[in-house]
Amino acid sequence: MNGLAPSLLESIRKNRFVVLGRAGMDLYADPPGAETEHATAFTTALGGSSANIAVAIARQGGEASLVTAVSDDAIGRFVRNQLASYGVDAGMVRTICGQVRTSLALVETRLENCQSVIYRNGAADFEVTEEDVDAIDYAAFGAFITTGTCLAAEPSRSATFKALDAARAAGIPVILDLDYRPYSWPTVADTGEICLRAANKADILVGNDEEFATLAGDTDAGRRLAAELAARNNALVVYKMGEHGSVTHDGSQEIETGIYRVDALKPTGSGDAFLGNFISALAAGQPLEESLRRGSAAAAMVVSNVGCAPAMPDAEQLEEFMTTHPGPNQGKEAADAHTAF
Domains identified in the chain, total number? 1
Pair 8, 203: CB distance under 8 Å: yes
What residues contact residue 131 under an 8 Å CB cut-off, 6+ apart? Answer: none
Average pLDDT, integer, range 318-336:
72
Q: Is residue 241 part of a domain?
A: yes
Task: Give dist(CA 308, CA 249) in Å, integer.
Answer: 27
Measured torsion, CA atoms of residues 55, 111, 316, 53, in degrees rounded to the nearest 10: -20
Q: Is residue 38 part of a domain?
A: no
Task: Give dist(CA 127, CA 288) in Å, integer.
Answer: 36
pTM: 0.95
CA–chain centroid gap for 171, Å, is 22
Task: Give dist(CA 201, CA 88) in Å, integer.
Answer: 26
Task: Return the closest-CA partner of residue 96 out of 83, 82, 77, 81.
Answer: 77
Task: Give dist(CA 306, CA 114) in Å, integer.
Answer: 13
Q: Is residue 144 part of a domain?
A: yes
pLDDT digits (tens, 9 = 90+) for 159-201: 999 999 999 999 999 999 999 999 899 888 889 999 999 999 9
pLDDT at 118 over 80: yes
pLDDT at 326 over 90: no
Quick one: pLDDT at residue 2? 56
Task: Give dist(CA 319, CA 314) in Å, integer.
Answer: 9
Are β-strands 16-20 and 63-71 bridged in parallel, bridged antiparallel, or unpaired? parallel
Pair 111, 265: CB distance under 8 Å: yes
Q: Is residue 29 part of a domain?
A: no
Q: What's the chain's average pLDDT?
A: 94
Quick one: pLDDT at residue 331? 41
Low-confidence winner among 88-92, 163-167, 332-336 (lowest mean pLDDT): 332-336
pLDDT at 336 over 70: no
Three-state secondary-structure class, residue 205? strand
Secondary structure letter of residue 326 according to DSSP: P
Number of residues that this document lists for the chain: 341
State which residues form the domain around 169: 6-22+49-68+75-92+129-335
Higher pLDDT, 335 or 295: 295
pLDDT at 317 over 50: yes
Secondary structure letter of residue 203 according to DSSP: S
pLDDT digits (tens, 9 = 90+) for 213-224: 999 989 899 999
pLDDT at 330 over 90: no
Quick one: pLDDT at residue 333? 43
Task: Give dist(CA 280, CA 209) in Å, integer.
Answer: 23
296: domain CATH number is: 3.40.1190.20
Report the b/e string of 204-228 with b at 16+ CB within 10 A: bbbbbbebbbbbbeeeeebbebbee
Average pLDDT, integer, range 110-126:
95
Quick one: pLDDT at residue 340? 47
Quick one: pLDDT at residue 70? 98
E strands in the chain: 16-20, 24-30, 41-47, 63-71, 89-96, 103-107, 116-119, 143-147, 174-177, 204-208, 236-240, 246-250, 253-257
Task: Give dist(CA 235, CA 205) in Å, integer.
Answer: 7
Q: Is residue 35 part of a domain?
A: no
Task: Give dist(CA 269, CA 274) in Å, integer.
Answer: 9
pLDDT at 334 over 90: no
Q: Is residue 100 part of a domain?
A: no
Task: Give dist(CA 223, CA 213) in Å, integer.
Answer: 8
Pair 236, 203: CB distance under 8 Å: yes
pLDDT digits (tens, 9 = 90+) for 99-115: 999 999 999 999 999 99
Quick one: pLDDT at residue 36? 97
